[in-house]
Amino acid sequence: MNYRNFFIGTMVLFANASFAEQISVPNEFFSGSRALAAEVNENFTALVDESNAQDIRIENSEALILDIVSESNSQDERIAALEGAASKEQLICKSWHTYWYSGNGSIECISSSSSSTISFSLVQDIYAAGWQAKSVGGSDNIIIIFEK
């Protein structure tokens, strides 16, 4: 668990603690006075009810913390996947031919590792150099992303 998760969980607990109330009982007993069983039972019922309400608040807080940690971990995984993808060498290519994959016409590319333009006469040359097509988009000007 990272510090962000710890901080969020701590904030949830403190926020929940601020909603905690003082437990009050309906009947007070004083030295020398008789306690009626019904009044004593009423006090115990009040304590049990408040204890159960606190259990529910604690369970809800724990569930919320688990959701926050899970979402945070999920975001960390997505970020790691994006960072991994960003670290791969990419070739961003543009073709003016709808059937670029058939090898007709030239394809102009820019490598992610350099800013120089690379031209290929055939898409087979790109595949022969070890590149794999990962993404294609566009209609008139086709953009193709290759990765190694």
Single out the residue in 86, 116, 135 at which a domain terminates. 86
Number of domains in the chain: 2
Question: Is the predicted pLDDT of residue 107 greater than 90, yes or no?
Answer: no
pLDDT digits (tens, 9 = 90+) for 8-27: 666 666 665 555 567 889 99
Model pTM score: 0.41
Tell me, yes or no, whether 82 and 141 share the same domain: no
What is the pLDDT at residue 86? 64
Indicate if 19 and 55 belong to the same structural domain: yes
Cβ–Cβ < 8 Å for 106, 120? yes
Kindly state whether residues 51 and 119 are assigned to the same domain.
Answer: no
C-alpha distance across the termini of the chain, in Å: 33
Question: pLDDT value at position 10?
Answer: 65
Question: Which of 45-49, 86-90, 103-107, 137-141 is the most confident on average?
Answer: 45-49
Q: What is the pLDDT of residue 1?
A: 47
Mean pLDDT calculated for residue range 72-85: 73
Residue 126 tokens, joined = 């790109």
| Domain range enclosing 50 | 3-86
Domain boundary among 44, 70, 86: 86
Q: Which amino acid type is present at position 45?
A: T
